[in-house]
Every structure is written in C-alpha cells, then in structure tokens.
Structure 1
Amino acid sequence: MDGVSLSAEKLQEADCVLIATDHSDFDYDWIVENSKIVVDTRNATRGVKNHRDKIVKI
C-alpha cells in the first residue's frame, strides 16, 4: 500500500475514507466535507457538526 498526499481531489475520488488513528493534526471537518463517506474507528469525528450523515462509527 502506498501513501498519497491528502487533498480534496483525492478524498472526492475515494469511495470511502477510513479513519484508523485519531491525530490532532488533521482537520476532520474538512475531511468529512470532501468525502463521500467516512468510516471512523477512533471517534475522531466526534466534534464534526456538519455532514454527520456521511459518518459511520464502528
């Protein structure tokens, strides 16, 4: 698996975005806004107010 730079374009191209680690360096509001669906395994999106319908927590 190769890493890619995080950009709005890459997020929008992805079918699903997986959050496997909670890092304070990431803007989760921006990530959710630019993603089709976000699977959050770490509750990293707990503070995200908008687009809650895109977030799946497991």
Structure 2
Amino acid sequence: MGDRPDVSVTNAFGRVWGHENLFVCDGSLHPTNGGYNPVLTIMALAFRNATHIAKTI
C-alpha cells in the first residue's frame, strides 16, 4: 500500500493502481507478517476496504 504507483502496488484502500475494479483485501497487502499472528489486522483492513468500496462504487 502506498500513495504513489511507482513505489507501491495498491493505494491505501487496496485498490490496484491502473485498475478501477481490482481491490486486494487479504494478507497480500502485508509485505511481511512479522512475529505475530496478523489475522485481526487482515480482518480490520478487509472491513475498512469493504466500507470504502461500498461508499465509492
């Protein structure tokens, strides 16, 4: 996730740069998972992205 398409694959809401209807809403948004279980973070990102999609599309 990032603010610029030249340094990131998606924007802050998981929308893939250059594609209007392609969103990533799973663990693929994490560059690394670190040492802890990321399930709650993945769920929170998915809910956040879904809310954004519902409001904008």
Q: TM-score with structure 2 length normalisation?
A: 0.29
Larger RCO: Structure 1 or Structure 2 (Cα < 8 Å, ≥ 6 residues apart)? 1
- Structure label with greater radius of gyration: 2
Q: TM-score with structure 1 length normalisation?
A: 0.29
> Counting strand residues as a fraction of each chain, which structure ranks higher?
1
